[in-house]
Amino acid sequence: MINTTPLRIHTKMIEYTKHLLVRYCGYYIINMGISKIHIIFDDAGRFGLNPKLIEQARRDARVSSVNHEHVTFTDEMQVPSKWREILECRQCKRKLIVYMGQSLLQVARKMLRGDQKLLTAGTGEDEDQDTVWFTTTNEIQYPAPGYKCAAEEGDTRVWLHADRSPGRKKLIYSPDTDVYHIGLTNVDTTSNDIIVQLSTIGTNLKLLHFNKFIEALYEDPDLASIPKPKRAKILQILYISTGCDFTSFFVGIGKTAFLKSFFRNTEFITGLSPTCGSLCDTTPDSNGFLAFIRLIGVAYFEKNRRAFENDNPRGFFNSFSSPCVKEQHSTWYNEIRAKVWPRIAFEDQLPPSLDALHLHWLRTLWMADYWDQASRTNMNLLPLDSFGWIVNGNEISVEWDSPENITQVKNRVSFLTHGCSCKTGCTTLRCKCVNSSRQCGPGCGCCKCQNQSRGEGMIHYMSI
């Protein structure tokens, strides 16, 4: 809502508030007569250390690089001209949300009819941090019980509101596709009739009937190899693992490509024997990681199909026999990486190493567990430093790969970019390459070199 840039006619903050309420809620209040409207904001900073801080640190760095002044919002103040700058500053954005929560209640009082109510959540401060306020035509700013939630993001917290609100028919508006993927494991469609609105009211209105979406998953013939109760969870894991709030994307392979390859190879990815795991096996010590290897391997196989003699990834997988199913997966995946290597222009287009892939899988499990608790009042989050992140005091960063692989990458970069400049053939310890027990490489500027690489370094790199 607050990402809507103010128009030139909005000179005061109260005018901007009225505009937002009319644009996003007016149709439902006046034309549809909806009995209760919940406006839910993000409530950042509730978890202390969390993966969101990584992105927030990048935004803070951008704000600190400009001459930005913090502001406090009131009804009569002028609308700030640099609106995006306000939203990029966490302190100013939080002050805006706190102001907006109370201002919306004041403005809504004049629009509501009969017994209609409007609630604002995520707008409290200090001792009122968990308070959800509501207003009617006659009453204003009364705490609404039953909606306390520990989640930070509004797209997560909305499902607690949907679960706790009375009535069967509920409409959730959010342009963020995270919303309905979170709801896959958080809503009882037998007692709720839910529609997710993905765009504002207008000619391009997009609506998703959540109940029919779940029914379609149950009846989809391409998912016949997956037990019906597991289909929603597998689709959620597929979405998280291919890039969302707290997990990275795969260069050159978007979500559409992953979905297409998944539906073409559903039985291979999820329908093998129990020892081969399933994407819905979301405990760290389960074989779910093996299914994730198959998901990623299939995507890279199909993107680079001409590099393989086999027509399909399953046939290629079966060409590697091993009494150990984990070893078979490792051999298959590493062979895909070897086949892809000559076809790429940049290293980030290479499939991640198995170690990097496992760390990514752990972050996926953390995110799935967080989403599973969306409709709970209190959350019990998994330890970050055991699920693919590095915690150092008050700082958090992504653990991209194992230390051994990172060292190999650094050595390879050094081999390609830095070297000696000997003029005497690189035969003595005066040559820093010889002194470091390595061969000269492309980064060297030496003459008449007798310490040339024969390609072993590239083979060594392929194991990363």
pLDDT per position as a tens digit, 180-228: 899 988 877 777 889 888 877 666 778 889 989 999 999 999 999 899 9
pLDDT per position as a tens digit, 369-390: 999 998 888 888 899 999 999 9
Instruction: Output the CA–CA distances (angstroms, integers) from residue 85 to 3, 57, 68, in the order listed.
Output: 11, 15, 8
The percentage of residues in the chain with a pLDDT greater than 90, rounded to a whole number, is 44
H-only helix segments in 109-209 = 154-164, 178-183
| pLDDT band for position 359 (cuts 50, 70, 90) | very high
Span 44-58, mean pLDDT? 77
Q: What is the pLDDT of residue 60?
A: 67
Q: Which tokens sit at 118? A: 């409007």
Q: Of 65, 105, 110, 88, give the one whose Cα is nearest residue 2.
A: 88
How many CB atoms sit inside 10 A of residue 215's CB? 12
Query: Are 42 and 100 a contacting pair, CB within 8 Å?
Result: no
- β-pairing, 395-398 vs 389-392, is antiparallel
Residue 169 has pLDDT above 80, yes or no: yes
Q: Of 115, 119, 122, 83, give the one whose Cα is nearest residue 104.
A: 119
Instruction: Output the CA–CA distances (angstroms, integers) from residue 101 to 43, 83, 209, 287, 415, in the order listed.
Output: 12, 18, 29, 46, 57
Residue 367 has pLDDT above 90, yes or no: yes
Q: What's the rounded Cα separation, in Å, for the pair 296 and 261? A: 9
Q: Which tokens sit at 403? A: 């230390």
> In the sheet where 169-173 sits, what is the strand order?
169-173, 193-197, 207-209
Q: What's the rounded Cα separation, in Å, for the pair 79 and 11? A: 6
Q: Which tokens sit at 203? A: 């000619």
| pLDDT band for position 455 (cuts 50, 70, 90) | very low
For 214, phi then psi, to 5°, come to -65, -40
Query: Are 155 and 44 a contacting pair, CB within 8 Å?
Result: no
Residues 6 or more apart whose CB falls under 8 angstroms from that of 30 comprise: 111, 113
Q: Which tokens sit at 244? A: 């969302």
Mean pLDDT, rounded, of the chain: 87
More confident residue, 79 or 407: 79
Name residue 161's amino acid. H
Q: What's the rounded Cα separation, in Å, for the pair 124 and 279? A: 38
Q: What is the pLDDT of residue 203?
A: 60
Q: What is the pLDDT of residue 65?
A: 59
pLDDT per position as a tens digit, 73-113: 999 999 998 898 888 888 899 999 999 999 999 999 888 98
Q: Which of 167-171, 266-270, 291-295 has the lowest mean pLDDT?
A: 167-171
Q: Which tokens sit at 189? A: 């469609």
| pLDDT band for position 121 (cuts 50, 70, 90) | very high
The percentage of residues in the chain with a pLDDT greater than 70, rounded to a whole number, is 95
Q: What's the rounded Cα separation, in Å, for the pair 276 and 220? A: 23
Q: Is 268 helix (H, G, I), strand (E, B) or coil?
A: helix
Residue 459 has pLDDT above 60, yes or no: no
More confident residue, 250 or 405: 250
Q: What's the rounded Cα separation, in Å, for the pair 305 and 265? A: 14
Q: What's the rounded Cα separation, in Å, for the pair 150 and 379? A: 6
Per the DSSP assignment, residues forming a β-bridge with 117 are 36
Q: Which tokens sit at 459? A: 């083979």
Q: Which tokens sit at 172? A: 């959730």
Distance of CA 393 to the CA centre of its chain: 24
| pLDDT band for position 337 (cuts 50, 70, 90) | very high
Q: Which tokens sit at 8? A: 């030139």
Residues 6 or more apart whose CB falls under 8 angstroms from that of 101 comprise: 39, 41, 120, 122, 123, 124, 133
More confident residue, 152 or 63: 152
Our CA angle for 58, 63, 64, nearest 5°, is 95
Sequential DSSP letters for 10-63: --BHHHHHHHHHIIIIIIIIIII--SEEEEE---TTSSSS-THHHHHHHHHHHH
